[in-house]
Amino acid sequence: MFERFTERARKVVVLAQEEARHFNHNYIGTEHLLLGLLREDEGVAARALGSLNVTLDEVREQVESIVGYGEEGTGGQAPFTPRSKKVLELALREALQLGHNYIGTEHILLGLVRESEGVAARVLSNLGVDPDKVRREVVRMLGGGRSQRGRSGSGGGEATGGARGVEAKRPKTRQLDQYGRNLTAYAEEGKLDPVIGRSKEIERIMQILVRRTKNNPVIIGEPGVGKTAIVEGLAQEISDDRVPDILADKEVYTLDLGALVAGSKYRGEFEERLKKIMKEITDHGDIILFIDEIHNLVGAGAAEGAIDAASILKPALARGELQVVGATTTDEYRKYVEKDKALERRFQTIQVGEPTVEETELILKGLRDRYEQHHRIEITDEALKAASELGHRYIADRFLPDKAIDLVDEAASKMRIKTMSSPPYYKEIDEELNEVRSQKEAAIDGQEFEKAARLRDSERKLTLQRRELEKSWRDGGDGGGNQASIGENEIAEIVSMWTGIPVKKMTEEESERLLKMEDALHGRVVGQNEAIKAVSRSIRRTMAGLKDPNRPSGSFVFLGPTGVGKTELARTLAEYLFGDQEAMIRLDMSEYMERHTVSRLVGSPPGYVGYDEGGQLTEQVRRRPYSVVLFDEIEKAHPDVFNILLQILEDGMLTDAQGRTVDFKNVVLIMTSNVGAQHINKTKSLGFGGDEAGLSYKEMKGRVTTELRKIFRPELLNRIDETIVFHKLEREDMRHIIEIQIQRLKKQLVEREIALEFTTEALDKLSEAGYDPAFGARPLRRVLQRMIEDPMSEMLLRGEIPSGSKVVIEPNDINYDDVSEDETIVSITVSQPKEVVLGKGNPTE
């Protein structure tokens, strides 16, 4: 018999077993089947009981009062009682009498009401539910009873006679019920979310449906803009009688193509299912079939030479026997449906755009009650506004209102988890309950049955007390009247979690922070005042909203000799703006010197290796739209790279090889180059420093820019916000740089509980040794590595610098120019607890 059970009916049996274990019953009775039917809320039975105002909590309370809790459960699979077996047999009879070749939840419910002696019948009687009303409600739903609602005046009559009467008026839709959902019935029961702001699209669907020919609309739009919601809105309009008379008796069914294909093992089985559904729709006459992701029709079920679903539907669509509403995305419609011209001409397209931020906020306000009821959290207007605005601004790869709804949903979920953890008194009751149970088991083992009976009663009282406390707490009665709520900060935290952008970047006023931007950048980049000022001015202009909204947040060319801080400034800017150095996307242009390598930026063309992987530039920006993109040593790139940059700098957009548009409007674009550095070196070296002092920044920038124009095209330079020339580093700059670098070394040693100190003389000597006008700050890093890090690493490995030590770096008498391979220009002294002095490169014991 169980092989005839639908998936939902089988789930009811599983849920009934769970309910039996919950009550510590070692059997499955009719009461457990009733609870299982209510818990499977997608079934016809639950919908029928719901329409009669029968709730799960009320039934559970009745079962507790009638049957109560049993002893400890066996833990195994509970058997069916004779009455529950009879209910299942009656369910089979009901299915056969209704002409159904399956047993669904509705047949189990009809079997329950026919078995009038069980606990389930007593429960329904106590709740004031008439078995005949249950039967009529089930029959109404099976018969597509909306046309009878307030129109036919007939509720059905006696048991199977009523069913036959309905069948005579309206053919059954058992195949559709098995492989789809009646959206109109869901709308009548209030199970659909409200649809806000889509009245024009719903009206357009109605216009197409009323047409004489080609009355099959297909809704086309990006994922998440609300295509399915529009069809649910149509079902709601039909349910509320706000449609033309010609559509008043229509029912909207959504077809699950996956369920239709699933389990069709043999050739022709899928086609047979689909033809039966088509026959039901034709016989019924008033069904609008909604197929979400309609592009899946093309190729669905086509195996071993069989024809696909689209080919089966096309003749019926051409004859006007079917009315279909489809929904798909623009790309998939073009890829699948447009290629099949015979299928495409049967449909009339409706383009659905993304709602604005203001429209999204209205949509969220319409949905707020549902989410507040689900999460038991108050959702403020500020949260809805923040979800709309922050989602639109920071989440570029998804669409409104879907991303805003998800932000509110996840923020509420996070708050509920935080605030709805079990109260402390639960633990006390659970401990007491476990103690009583263990004492009861001991009393039974000792054959003290009177004591065991008293303990059993105590166990029941504690169990009921816990359930009452839990119900009171869940209903908010124990929370002191303070309901948790979410606001702008909670939404910003979720956006930060999704995108990696710091919360303060989105919520707090940044005026003071941006005005002090130079100070923050000076902490990492030394000796480049003009460069930092130029970058800060441009970023402030962007943050103030005065930039062109269709261009990147900032575009700069950093010019100057090697080692002066061009890349370091880009890295510092990424951390300052986006809170993480990982927000810098670095592309070394020496890898794009050949023409064929340029395609790697946007992805390989179709047919080439790596086409599915995406471009090295476009993929990274698509995943992290708020970032700093660094084109390092841009002068080495092939000229075709500049063509790509022209599009980014002008429109803030770039299309990859797969046709996806990537947004660069929130990117800071930086190009570094050594162009003109040789010219600067030559100019500054004349006179051994005499000309260097008299050469102004403006004159130096003019000479470098002249050199730059020989390589870069005018249309590219004209689109760049700032061309910034970096100074050569001076001796005093090296002192600041070495202080920054030793801070990193100190931080590493603190983790090992080792203190590191430098004397002023040691810092002066190290900075002098690392100064090289031609190579900038990089030689200083090598000096630190050789003079400090290398000897200290050897001492650490030999155990000469234990945890808790203090290391002091002092100068010695050796000059850097005279130092040999095993010598250093500083002394490393270790104190507390062991003193070791490294003088001329050799440790003394």
pLDDT tens digits along 90-102: 888 888 877 777 8
Distances (CA, A) of 840 to 767, 779, 815: 19, 22, 11
Q: With 60 as the cut, is the pLDDT of residue 436 above it?
A: yes
Separation between Cα atoms, residue 431 and residue 470, nearest integer Å: 16
User: What is the residue extent of each domain of the chain?
Assistant: 2-144, 173-353, 359-472, 508-682+696-725, 731-831
Separation between Cα atoms, residue 219 and residue 333, nearest integer Å: 10
Q: With 60 as the cut, is the pLDDT of residue 31 above it?
A: yes
Over residues 369-380, mean pLDDT: 84
| Side chain identity, residue 399 | F
Distances (CA, A) of 567 to 169, 423, 436, 573, 629: 79, 53, 70, 10, 11
The burial class, CB within 10 Å (0-12 / 13-18 / 19+), for 678 is: exposed
CATH (residue range 2-144): 1.10.1780.10
Least confident residue range of 146-155, 372-381, 391-400: 146-155
Q: With 60 as the cut, is the pLDDT of residue 836 above it?
A: no
Over residues 704-722, mean pLDDT: 83
Q: With 80 as the cut, is the pLDDT of residue 17 above it?
A: yes
Beta-carbon contacts of residue 305 (< 8 Å; ≥ 6 apart):
267
Instruction: State the pLDDT at residue 681.
Output: 53
Q: With 60 as the cut, is the pLDDT of residue 512 above it?
A: yes
Higher pLDDT, 682 or 470: 470
Q: What angle do CA 535, 540, 542 make, to 5 degrees?
A: 100
Over residues 294-300, mean pLDDT: 75
Q: With 80 as the cut, is the pLDDT of residue 428 above it?
A: no
Encode pLDDT of 312-327 as tens digits: 888 888 777 788 898 9
DSSP per-residue letters across 25-67:
-SSB-HHHHHHHHHH-TTSHHHHHHHHTT--HHHHHHHHHHHT
Higher pLDDT, 256 or 771: 256
The continuous run of DSSP H or E covering 179 comes out as: helix 174-179
Beta bridge partners of 755: 806
How many other C-beta atoms can be found within 10 angstroms of the C-beta atom of residue 368?
18
Instruction: State the pLDDT at residue 711.
Output: 81
Q: Provide the terminal-to-terminal Cα distance of the chain, rounded to the nearest Å.
A: 90
The burial class, CB within 10 Å (0-12 / 13-18 / 19+), for 445 is: exposed
Separation between Cα atoms, residue 394 and residue 45, nearest integer Å: 45
Backbone φ and ψ of 480, nearest 5° = 70, 15
Structure tokens belonging to residue 80: 């069916």
For residues 427, 432, 438 and 441, what is the CA-based torsion angle, rounded to 10 degrees?
Answer: -130
Instruction: State the pLDDT at residue 420.
Output: 63
Superfamily of domain 508-682+696-725: P-loop containing nucleotide triphosphate hydrolases (3.40.50.300)
Distances (CA, A) of 412 to 360, 405, 423, 570, 842: 18, 11, 19, 37, 64
Q: In the structure, what pLDDT confidence band is assigned to residue 689 with cuts at 50, 70 and 90?
A: very low
pTM of the model: 0.58
Q: In the structure, what pLDDT confidence band is assigned to residue 459 with cuts at 50, 70 and 90?
A: confident
Ranked by mean pLDDT, the top range of 700-704, 711-715, 837-841 is 711-715
Beta-carbon contacts of residue 609 (< 8 Å; ≥ 6 apart):
none
Beta bridge partners of 218: 326, 349
Instruction: State the pLDDT at residue 152.
Output: 33
Separation between Cα atoms, residue 73 and residue 84, nearest integer Å: 19
ω into 315 cis (within 30 of 0): no
What is the β-pairing status of strands 755-758 and 806-811? parallel
Q: With 70 as the cut, is the pLDDT of residue 114 above it?
A: yes
Least confident residue range of 1-10, 160-169, 533-542, 582-591: 160-169
Instruction: State the pLDDT at residue 145.
Output: 42
Beta bridge partners of 777: none
Question: Strands, DSSP E only, in 720-845?
Answer: 722-725, 755-758, 806-811, 826-831, 836-838, 843-844
The per-type count for the chain, helices as H runs and strands as E runs, is: 39, 20
Decide: 754 and 809 in contact? Cβ < 8 Å.
no
Instruction: State the pLDDT at residue 845.
Output: 36
Nearest to 405 by CA among 416, 423, 391, 422: 391
Q: With 50 as the cut, is the pLDDT of residue 159 above it?
A: no
How many other C-beta atoms can be found within 10 angstroms of the C-beta atom of residue 493?
18
| Side chain identity, residue 89 | E
How many other C-beta atoms can be found within 10 angstroms of the C-beta atom of residue 692?
16
Nearest to 32 by CA among 5, 76, 72, 64: 64
- The rounded percent of the chain whose pLDDT value lies above 90 is 2
Distances (CA, A) of 599 to 53, 617, 656: 64, 10, 9
Separation between Cα atoms, residue 17 and residue 547, nearest integer Å: 65
Instruction: State the pLDDT at residue 688.
Output: 37
Q: In the structure, what pLDDT confidence band is assigned to residue 822 with cuts at 50, 70 and 90?
A: low
| Side chain identity, residue 179 | Y
Instruction: State the pLDDT at residue 371.
Output: 86
Architecture of domain 359-472: 3-Layer(aba) Sandwich (3.40)
Encode pLDDT of 409-418 as tens digits: 999 888 887 7
Least confident residue range of 152-156, 190-194, 600-604: 152-156
Structure tokens belonging to residue 631: 């084109």
Least confident residue range of 366-380, 418-432, 738-752: 418-432
Over residues 754-772, mean pLDDT: 78
Decide: 198 and 204 in contact? Cβ < 8 Å.
no
Beta bridge partners of 753: none
Structure tokens belonging to residue 200: 């024009």
ω into 401 cis (within 30 of 0): yes
Q: With 60 as the cut, is the pLDDT of residue 761 above it?
A: yes
Q: In the structure, what pLDDT confidence band is assigned to residue 816 with cuts at 50, 70 and 90?
A: low
Decide: 150 and 167 in contact? Cβ < 8 Å.
no
Higher pLDDT, 729 or 373: 373
Separation between Cα atoms, residue 820 and residue 626, nearest integer Å: 49
Least confident residue range of 50-59, 167-176, 544-553: 167-176
How many other C-beta atoms can be found within 10 angstroms of the C-beta atom of residue 603?
24
Q: In the structure, what pLDDT confidence band is assigned to residue 425 with cuts at 50, 70 and 90?
A: low
Decide: 728 and 680 in contact? Cβ < 8 Å.
yes
Q: With 70 as the cut, is the pLDDT of residue 694 above it?
A: no
Please give the mean pLDDT across all residues of the chain: 78
Q: With 70 as the cut, is the pLDDT of residue 16 above it?
A: yes
The continuous run of DSSP H or E covering 668 comes out as: strand 667-673
Q: In the structure, what pLDDT confidence band is assigned to residue 476 with cuts at 50, 70 and 90?
A: low
Decide: 156 and 163 in contact? Cβ < 8 Å.
yes
DSSP per-residue letters across 142-196:
HTTGGGGTTTT-----SHHHHHHHHHHHS---HHHHHHEEEHHHHHHTT-SPP--
Encode pLDDT of 769-800 as tens digits: 777 766 767 777 788 888 888 888 888 888 88
Separation between Cα atoms, residue 549 and residue 221, nearest integer Å: 24
CATH (residue range 173-353): 3.40.50.300
Fold: same for 359-472 and 508-682+696-725? yes
**What sign has the CA pseudo-torsion 681, 682, 685, 690?**
negative
Separation between Cα atoms, residue 360 and residue 810, nearest integer Å: 65
Separation between Cα atoms, residue 99 and residue 3, nearest integer Å: 17
Instruction: State the pLDDT at residue 303.
Output: 54
Architecture of domain 731-831: Orthogonal Bundle (1.10)
Decide: 24 and 71 in contact? Cβ < 8 Å.
yes
Q: With 50 as the cut, is the pLDDT of residue 377 above it?
A: yes
Biggest CA–CA distance in the chain, Å, is: 114
Nearest to 60 by CA among 104, 22, 28, 91: 22
Q: With 80 as the cut, is the pLDDT of residue 552 above it?
A: yes
